[in-house]
Amino acid sequence: MKSFLIFISLFSLAVAQPENPGPYKAGWTNVTLNRGGRVINAIIYYPSFVEGAGVQIDTVHGPYSIIAFGHGFFMQNSYYTSLFKHLATHGHIIIAPQFPDNSHLQLAYDLIFCVNHIKAQNQNRNSIFYKLVDTLKVGLSGHSMGGGSSLLASTIDTSIVVVAPLAAAETNPSIISSMNKIRAVVYLITAQNDGITPPQTNQIPMYNNANPIKAIPILKGANHTKFMDTRFWDWTDPRGYLTAEEQLRLTRKYLTGIFNLFLKNDTSFFKYAFGNYVQNDTSVIFNYQLKPLYPLPFNLVFPVDTTLSENINFKWRSTFSLNLYDTVKYKLLIATDSVFNNIVFVADQLSDTSFSLSLNSGGNYFWKVIAYTSDSTTTESNISKFSLLLSDMEENSLNLLEFQLYQNYPNPFNSSTKIRFKILKDVLVSIKLFNPLGEEVGTLIEEPKFPGEYEIEVDSISMKLKSGIYIYQMMAGQYSFSRKFLLIK
């Protein structure tokens, strides 16, 4: 029994490797498209219940992401069949056009046209792809000329999520000089012994000019032609010593890894795309550059449209970034209005997905959570409402601690404005100013105060404030209250 369990564990581990087939079968069909008189014959591969031409798409596990693939110079789309089938088994729809000519810019538009064709099928009731296409998850790839054209297409279509060409060739117009226009993830799978599109004059300059997030796995001993199934053209590039079987295996591994990570949000493939696996793989030379990514969408758990009469334990779903080197922090905001103009509480730099709080007065409240990996990569949860009921004794007790922070006047303002506040007991008062990202930009007051009403002035010139929205937060003992103002210069 123990030996059997070990066998099952090893088998499961092997299947999980991205170079092995995924959980689906591969079906395929042919389509003829017309782009302004350009006749494009394309083959489409898709996840299915059984392998074969024209078989039923898997209708249970969609929607499926889109990948458009461009073939090499004077090559055929059929030369990459094993790769297309493999990606289909991992839950992608692949459309591979047969280009009508070799005009690189036109090929880029052909790839975009193919992507849009698959997107349109999502709304076509007569299509097998009806409501089975994830139109927001689009990747591009290609080999040699088709690889360079896929990069060109990514400079045009900003909806592309990831572009991962094989031995991409320089294009006309130059993609090397245009790489900084690409907003997609760039993943340049490259052959070390490529004598047709050498890395030194093609993919390495592309990588150097690309924006992060980017990577270049260079397959040691690989050549230009062994990215294809056919061996007919190997005589044109004899320098590579890697076997075709091994080159195709590595290609499947890293192409599947990057597509499954960014098109399926499956972080189990991060190690193959950027993490320790690819970094320690002696069969590749690997360089990469990451940056913080937006946390994935997440929702609030409690309280949600409910009435409470006690301390509140706020809870929300955890989230994460596809860059597993990111650290996700949370900011909890509570307001008396749904647009959060009147914020009554802020808790920032939270690591947990819960926070306990007692509010000092009853009424209706709105709350949300902002997850962030940096100042510029933030994702907001949904907004929820709750009502808080307090007993008369609690209300009277809390009134003894009551304070008021009034809206500044004038608002909006140009150079200066005044903020009034009221307190009913001796307390240390702190009023600080924050930008919309939650960064502190100044302290307006921080000193003990006696009961009474006070007024302070905000001078935007002396504080060197730029135009925009700011949050001013008052802390009085254990209680806080916040409001917003708008500075216009």
Lowest mean pLDDT among 82-91, 134-143, 212-221, 336-345: 336-345
Per-residue pLDDT of 368-379, as tens digits, reads 999 999 999 999
Rounded Cα–Cα distance for residues 131 and 93 (Å):
13
Q: Is the pLDDT of residue 452 over 50?
A: yes
Nearest to 23 by CA among 228, 227, 271, 256: 256
Q: Which pLDDT band holds residue 2 (cuts at 50, 70, 90)?
A: very low
Residues 451 and 367 in one domain: no
Rounded Cα–Cα distance for residues 26 and 47 (Å):
5
Per-residue pLDDT of 137-164, as tens digits, reads 999 999 999 999 999 999 999 999 999 9
To the nearest whole percent, how much of the chain has pLDDT over 90? Answer: 73
Q: Which pLDDT band holds residue 366 (cuts at 50, 70, 90)?
A: very high
Residues 262 and 127 in one domain: yes
How large is the average pLDDT for residues 6-33? Answer: 75
Is 294 part of a structural domain of the chain? no
Rounded Cα–Cα distance for residues 178 and 176 (Å):
5
CB 109 within 8 A of CB 66: no
Tokens 């245009």 correspond to 178
Strand pairing report for 384-388 and 306-308? parallel
Residue 347 exposure: Cα atoms within 13 Å on the Cβ side: 18
Q: What is the pLDDT of residue 1?
A: 39
Is 82 part of a structural domain of the chain? yes
Residues 145 and 60 in one domain: yes
Q: What is the pLDDT of residue 400?
A: 39
Q: Is the pLDDT of residue 463 over 80?
A: yes
CATH number where 248 lies: 3.40.50.1820
How large is the average pLDDT for residues 204-221? Answer: 98
Out of 156-170, 337-351, 401-415, 461-475, give the one with best mean pLDDT: 156-170
Q: What is the pLDDT of residue 10?
A: 36
Residues 73 and 166 in one domain: yes
Q: Where are the extended beta strands (E) located within 402-450?
A: 403-405, 416-423, 427-434, 440-449
Task: Please state, as a whole number, how many other Cβ atoms lie within 10 Å of the Cβ of residue 475.
Answer: 17
Q: What is the pLDDT of residue 302?
A: 92
Q: What is the pLDDT of residue 307?
A: 76
Residue 484 exposure: Cα atoms within 13 Å on the Cβ side: 17
Residues 113 and 219 in one domain: yes
- List Cα–Cα distances, 439 to 442, 443, 470, in angstroms: 9, 12, 10
For 45, the token pair is 């591969």
Lowest mean pLDDT among 177-186, 234-243, 318-327, 432-441: 432-441
Rounded Cα–Cα distance for residues 256 and 88 (Å):
10
Q: What is the pLDDT of residue 390?
A: 58
Strand pairing report for 363-374 and 329-335? antiparallel
Q: Which pLDDT band holds residue 399 (cuts at 50, 70, 90)?
A: very low
Residues 274 and 340 in one domain: no
How many domains does one find in the chain? 3
Q: Is the pLDDT of residue 167 over 50?
A: yes
Last residue of a domain, one of 362, 397, 432: 397
Helix (H) or strand (E) holding 386: strand 384-388
Residues 250 and 181 in one domain: yes
Which position has the higher pLDDT, 201 or 476? 201
For 173, the token pair is 């117009």
Residues 170 and 263 in one domain: yes
Q: Is the pLDDT of residue 87 over 90?
A: yes
Per-residue pLDDT of 315-329, as tens digits, reads 999 999 999 999 999
Q: Which pLDDT band holds residue 16 (cuts at 50, 70, 90)?
A: low
Q: Is the pLDDT of residue 391 over 60?
A: no
**Type of residue numbered 1:** M
Q: What is the domain extent for residue 465? A: 400-487
Is 295 part of a structural domain of the chain? no
Q: Is the pLDDT of residue 469 over 70?
A: yes
**Is-cis flag, bond preceding 173, omega within 30?**
yes
Per-residue pLDDT of 108-122, as tens digits, reads 999 999 999 999 999
Q: What is the pLDDT of residue 243?
A: 97
For 444, the token pair is 């307006």
Q: What is the pLDDT of residue 11?
A: 35
The one-character DSSP state at 392 is H
CATH number where 422 lies: 2.60.40.2550
How large is the average pLDDT for residues 9-20? Answer: 59
What's the mean pLDDT when you consider all of the chain? Answer: 91
Q: What is the pLDDT of residue 358?
A: 79
Residues 285 and 327 in one domain: no
Burial 200-232 (b: 16+ CB within 10 A, else e): eebbbbbbebbeebbbbbbbbbbbbbbbbeeee
CB 293 within 8 A of CB 328: no
Residues 160 and 223 in one domain: yes
Residue 386 exposure: Cα atoms within 13 Å on the Cβ side: 22
In 51-135, which residue ranges form alpha helices assigned H by DSSP? 81-89, 104-121
Is 441 part of a structural domain of the chain? yes
Last residue of a domain, one of 266, 289, 312: 289
How large is the average pLDDT for residues 287-292? Answer: 96
Residues 180 and 66 in one domain: yes
Rounded Cα–Cα distance for residues 435 and 443 (Å):
12
Residue 29 exposure: Cα atoms within 13 Å on the Cβ side: 14
Q: What is the pLDDT of residue 13?
A: 39
CATH number where 309 lies: 2.60.40.10
Nearest to 98 by CA among 118, 116, 71: 71
Q: What is the pLDDT of residue 423?
A: 87
**Type of residue numbered 113:** F
**Is-cis flag, bond preceding 303, omega within 30?**
yes
Q: What is the pLDDT of residue 12?
A: 38
Per-residue pLDDT of 260-272, as tens digits, reads 999 999 999 999 9
Q: What is the pLDDT of residue 310?
A: 67
Residues 209 and 350 in one domain: no
How large is the average pLDDT for residues 18-24? Answer: 96
Last residue of a domain, one of 373, 397, 421: 397
Which position has the higher pLDDT, 356 or 3? 356
Q: What is the pLDDT of residue 396?
A: 41
Is 187 part of a structural domain of the chain? yes
Q: What is the pLDDT of residue 482?
A: 76
Q: Is the pLDDT of residue 52 over 70?
A: yes
To the nearest whole percent, how much of the chain has pLDDT over 70? Answer: 93
Q: What is the pLDDT of residue 206?
A: 98
